[in-house]
Amino acid sequence: MAMGSRRILRFAVAAAALLFAVSVAISAQTSTHRGRKYKSPPPTSRIEVSVLRSEDGHPVENAAVIFHLVGDKGNMELKTNDEGKAMIDVLPTGSKVLLQVFAKGYQTYGGEYDIDKANMGLEIKLNRPGHQYSIYDNHPQASDGKTPAKDAAPKDADKNASDASAKQPEAKPETNQPKPE
């Protein structure tokens, strides 16, 4: 065989192999059969959470927004951006989610939501912490007869003491006079 015919034969074999490989790759991409264990993921919803201050409506930056899917283990946590927004798009549509929001200097927020739309927007308004309850503060509404309020006991004691002193006769000064015999 001549040198030219060997080149043509090698070229033909290489072209046939390349053609076969391309046809196998194309048929694999067009096949919809993925095996018997494949299960397509459920449709998901896009949820945008806006975290705002309740007193003036300004955004709360760097707040922790935590999603707990009811019935599943684990959670998903996001942080709000400088506009007070956090966005998630992996929650299954039709599920129920517990939402918690933590931010430094604010009360913790918690709520339960049904994910029933493809796009949802939630607006959360955070409050500043309230006054801490103390047994040493005056709580007149807490006086139910069983447990007196803080200032009720001293006032009652002072009142009882003044009532007792009003009922007793005044003491007469003693004089050093001889007693009659």
Which CATH number fits the domain that encloses residue 112? 2.60.40.10
Residues 54, 79: one domain? yes
pLDDT in tens, 94-124: 999 999 999 999 999 999 999 999 999 999 9
State which residues form the domain around 122.
44-126
Residues 48, 99: one domain? yes
pLDDT of 152 higher than 70? no
- The answer as to whether 26 is a domain residue is no
Is the pTM higher than 0.85? The answer reads no
- The answer as to whether 75 is a domain residue is yes
- The answer as to whether 115 is a domain residue is yes
Residues 99, 73: one domain? yes
132 with 109: CB under 8 angstroms? no
Residues 148, 108: one domain? no
Q: How many domains does one find in the chain?
A: 2
